Amino acid sequence: MRNERKVRRRRSLLCLAVVATFVAVTTACGGGSASGELTSITLADGAQNLSAFNAPYDVFAKDRYWKESGFEVTPQFTQGGTQSVQLVASGKADVSVVGLSSALQVAAQSPSVKIIAITGGNIWQMAVPEQSAIRELADLKGKTIGVQALNTGQYLYNRAALEASGVDPDSDVEWLPIGTGAQAAAALDNGEVDALASYFGPLEVVGGLTRSPLRVLPTPLDDLDGSGAWIVNARVLEQHRDEIVEFMRGMSKTSIWAQQNPQAIIQSLWDTDPATKPRDVSDADAMASTVALVSAYWSKVINFGPEGMYGVLSDEAVEKAVHFHFDKGIVEGELDIAESIDLSVARDAADYDVEGIRAAAGQGNAP
């Protein structure tokens, strides 16, 4: 892609609440300098707490592959993707994994952030009770859709999906904030809402609390790659590119385990934080239920993408994803793709014995 290729969107659009002005970068949080090694890395995680969903990087890669590479990685839990990207932009954190919308928004506003990996696959979904007569998004005309809140990616992405399906997200449906977990399940059970706009992960949680299972509706978003992204402070990348490549290599190796041996990652989580293990069930049932809970999410964001490498999309897929976010009003501003997105980091990170890691994951042993 040529350096002059930019995506611009100037009109007033709905966007995620990312602060437009960032604190100037003064120092990086990592333990290295321009001439030294980067040994300490702060990872901002907007998940707010440790769970099975973020265990691949907050536990498994941290204690296995990153530790073997000499990195001391410290997860720093935040109040969401907005705060995470602000910390990376200001130099108060080194790296973060966030939704692609948050990554694009901060990259459009700050040269202090670089996008170094984009995960393939779509996580944003609409779901209805299994017995519902609603079979496709077009059937939602005249219906009420529940969503955690109206300032979330869940709302922005799913309203874009409705628009692409011929449904006016402003006049054809009603949106109702219903929170998460048991509160959202109750809204579905009592008929307060006809559908739930969410994403893999929370959908499984809510579906486990409703009286009947939830059924995911087909969505045009499934044809779009790019749900999540790894971002890095620009100064850290400039001064320590080799170390950041090695950091991403550890995540790439972990993505193999997430697909081939998710039980190993979950067990490492329980060993680290026993409170995250389901209670009052057998070990086998606890493992089976946890694997089922995370499998759909991990299959989209912690896997090898369509190019056969973790975090790598083709130039065409990147352009398609970026234009979608700007054209649908999910992100606003101006973005120079070549300046803001550098997937060569993820490509270089794919240079290792992939089959050796596959074999190790199959056997449950680290090579």
How far is Cα 287 from Cα 265, in angstroms, rounded to an integer? 11
Q: Which two tokens stand for residue 38?
A: 């980067």
| DSSP bridge partners of 175 | 145
Instruction: Check: CB of residue 231 under 8 Å from CB of residue 114.
Output: yes
**CA 18 – CA 102 distance, rounded (Å):** 7
What residue type is assigned to position 364 of the chain? G
Mean pLDDT of the chain: 88
pLDDT 10s digits, 36-49: 688 999 999 988 78
Is residue 321 over pLDDT 60? yes
Number of H-type helices and E-type strands within the chain: 16, 12
State pLDDT tens for residues 1-36: 433 344 444 333 334 333 333 333 333 444 443 446
Q: What is the mean pLDDT of residues 64-88?
A: 93
The residue among 196, 125, 139, 124 whose CA lies nearest residue 172 is: 139
Which residues, at least 6 apart from 119, have a Cβ–Cβ distance to it below 8 Å?
226, 227, 228, 229, 300, 301, 302, 303, 305, 310, 311
Among 79-83, 281-285, 358-362, the range scoring the smallest mean pLDDT is 79-83
Nearest alpha carbon to residue 119 among 304, 315, 277: 304
In whole angstroms, give the CA distance from residue 18 to residue 68: 35
- pLDDT given at position 17: 39
Reported as half-sphere exposure (CB side, CA atoms, 13 A), residue 268 has a value of 23
DSSP letter at 163? H
Given this model, what pLDDT does residue 9 score? 40
What pLDDT does residue 361 have? Answer: 95
Sequence-distant (≥ 6) Cβ neighbours of residue 180 within 8 angstroms:
148, 202, 205, 206
**Higher per-residue pLDDT: 1 or 81:** 81
Q: What is the pLDDT of residues 184-220, one digit of tens each?
A: 999 999 999 999 999 888 898 899 899 999 999 999 9
**Whole-angstrom distance, CA of residue 105 vs CA of residue 333:** 8
Mean pLDDT of 325-331: 90
Query: What does the pLDDT read at residue 365?
Result: 63
| Edge-to-edge strand ranges of the sheet holding 113-119 | 72-77, 40-45, 95-99, 228-233, 113-119
pLDDT reading at 246 higher than 50:
yes
Strand-pair category, 72-77 with 40-45: parallel
The C-alpha angle 59, 63, 68, rounded to 5 degrees, equals 150
Q: What pLDDT is stored for residue 162 in this prediction?
A: 97
CA distance 79 to 98: 12
Residue 67 confidence (pLDDT) above 70: yes
More reliable by pLDDT, 299 or 252: 252
The CA distance from 103 to 271, in Å, is 32
Q: Could you tell me which residues come within 8 angstroms of residue 96 by beta carbon, excluding any fewer than 6 positions away?
A: 43, 44, 45, 46, 81, 84, 85, 87, 88, 230, 231
The pLDDT value recorded for residue 15 is 41
Tokens found for residue 170: 């402003």
The b-or-e profile of 323-351 (16+ CB within 10 A means b, else e) is ebbbebbbbbbebbbeebbbbebbbbbbe
87-100 pLDDT, tens digit per residue, is 999 999 999 999 89
CB 177 within 8 A of CB 154: no
> What is the per-residue DSSP string for 70-93?
T-EEEEEE-SSHHHHHHHHHHTS-
pLDDT of residue 36: 64
Output the pLDDT for position 117.
98
**Chain segment 124-166, per-residue pLDDT in tens:** 999 999 999 999 999 999 999 999 988 788 898 999 999 999 9
Q: Is the pLDDT of residue 330 over 70?
A: yes
